[in-house]
Amino acid sequence: MIGLDKLEVGQMARVVKTEEKRLSDLGLVSGTQVECVLKSPLGDPKAYRIRGAVMAVRKAEARNIMVEVSNL
């Protein structure tokens, strides 16, 4: 398991645990597939495809979301 903030562009993962209430309210819950699709020029925030939508998540929030990287 790693923090979502460690996911690199093009990698996919499955959410294992989240402590970010705001993001869990948006559908980022255990079992959700996530793909890192973009990284800002300075590296924060990164954009993730979550349930068909793309949303930007700052590193401070992303490090509290634990994911398992998919081996695709």
pLDDT at 32: 92
pTM of the predicted model, to two decimals? 0.88
pLDDT at 19: 85
pLDDT at 72: 53
pLDDT < 70 positions in the chain: 71-72
- CATH code for position 17: 2.30.30.90
pLDDT at 27: 84
pLDDT at 21: 85
Q: Is the CB of residue 69 less than 8 Å from the CB of residue 13?
A: yes
Range of the domain at 33: 2-69
Please state the domain count of the chain.
Answer: 1
